[in-house]
Amino acid sequence: MTVPAPLVELRNVTFGYGERVILRDLSLQIPRGKVTALMGASGGGKTTVLRLIGGQQRAQQGQVLFDGQDVGRMTQNQLYQARRRMGMLFQFGALFTDMSVFDNVAFPLREHTDLPEDLVRDIVLMKLNAVGLRGARALKPSEISGGMARRVALARAIALDPELIMYDEPFAGLDPIALGTAAQLIRQLNDAMGLTTVLVSHDVVETFQVADHVIILGPACVAAQGTPAEVLASTDPLVEQFVHARATGPVPFHYPGPDAAQDFGPGARL
Using the rule CB under 6 A, is 48 a contact of ligand ATP?
Answer: yes
Taking the least distance from each CB to ligand ATP, the nearer of 15 and 102 is 15
**Which span (43-51, 58-66, 153-161, 232-240) binds ligand ATP, by CB under 6 A?**
43-51
Site string for ligand ATP, 3-32 (x = CB under 6 A): --------------x----x----------
| 135-141: long-range contacts, CB 8 A cutoff, minimum separation 24 | 136/101, 137/100, 137/101, 137/102, 138/100, 138/101, 138/102, 139/100, 139/101, 140/97, 140/98, 140/99, 140/100, 140/101, 141/95, 141/96, 141/97, 141/99, 141/101, 141/104
**Spatial separation of the C-alpha atoms in residues 87 and 38, rounded to whole Å:** 16
Smallest distance from ligand ATP to CB 29, Å? 19
**Which span (45-53, 93-101, 221-229, 260-268) binds ligand ATP, by CB under 6 A?**
45-53
How many chain residues are in contact with ligand ATP, going by CB under 6 A? 9
**Spatial separation of the C-alpha atoms in residues 209 and 183, rounded to whole Å:** 8
**Which span (42-50, 75-83, 99-107, 220-228) binds ligand ATP, by CB under 6 A?**
42-50
Number of residues that this document lists for the chain:
270
Using the rule CB under 6 A, is 149 a contact of ligand ATP?
Answer: no
* Residues that bind ligand ATP in the complex, under the rule CB under 6 A: 17, 22, 42-48
